[in-house]
Amino acid sequence: MPAPDHERPLLLIDMGGVFFDYAFDRALAHWAAAAGTDIARLSDAWGIDDPFDAFERGEITGTDYLAHLRRRLGLELTDQQMTDGWNAIYGPVNRHLVDLLATPELRDRFRAVLGVSNTNALHAAAWRQLYRTDLPVLDGTVCSHEIGTTKPRPEFFARIAADHKVPLTGMVLVDDIPVVTQDAAALGLRTHTYTGADSLARFLTLQ
């Protein structure tokens, strides 16, 4: 018999890098081919900046961000061409993880399994469509652009805790970025830095 809900933790699974593969070089390659330019030039010009962060918090529109990105990269591409490149980053789903999350033993151990992501409206629309057959293994997703804050900010986890009526110590986070798991652990979450399915399975059996 599974433990009552109030005794079971909430499992948070990072999307990009854990639930599915992605690589931003694929976007640069797409834009370089579309514009007939050198990918090395785009790589030198690209970077995470204030508009990128604002886009991930849902503070600016996709149209505004693409206009900024077009200027930054020195491209003369349409919004559709920019969007196609922006969403070219995705690779295969993590089949081992999806299968693990579907096991009754794991489902009995956690009250719910949520996907969590620092993302934006254009990316989220793309991966929700691309991985639509595998997303039902999750009980829901929490996206930064929809709640106005990014992980590992305390507000990100506080929002989830409040929505699901659990303390921070009642959540388990799996993420592939060490600084995220470190900062979340400092807030009281139990965390695991993802490196592969086997070590994750061992970690989850202890929760």
CATH number at residue 160: 3.40.50.1000
- Domain end point (choices 35, 53, 86): 86
9 with 32, same domain: the answer is no
Summarize pLDDT for 130-187 with one digit per residue, the tens: 999 999 999 999 999 999 999 999 999 999 999 999 999 999 999 999 999 999 999 9
14 with 116, same domain: the answer is yes
Provide the domain count of the chain. 2
157 with 65, same domain: the answer is no
CB 108 within 8 A of CB 2: yes
Summarize pLDDT for 73-125 with one digit per residue, the tens: 999 999 999 999 999 999 999 999 999 999 999 999 999 999 999 999 999 99
> The whole model's pTM is what?
0.94
54 with 153, same domain: the answer is no
182 with 98, same domain: the answer is yes
CB 159 within 8 A of CB 57: no
CB 75 within 8 A of CB 38: no
How far from 132 is each of 78, 127, 135, 140, 144, CA to CA, in Å? Answer: 27, 8, 5, 12, 19
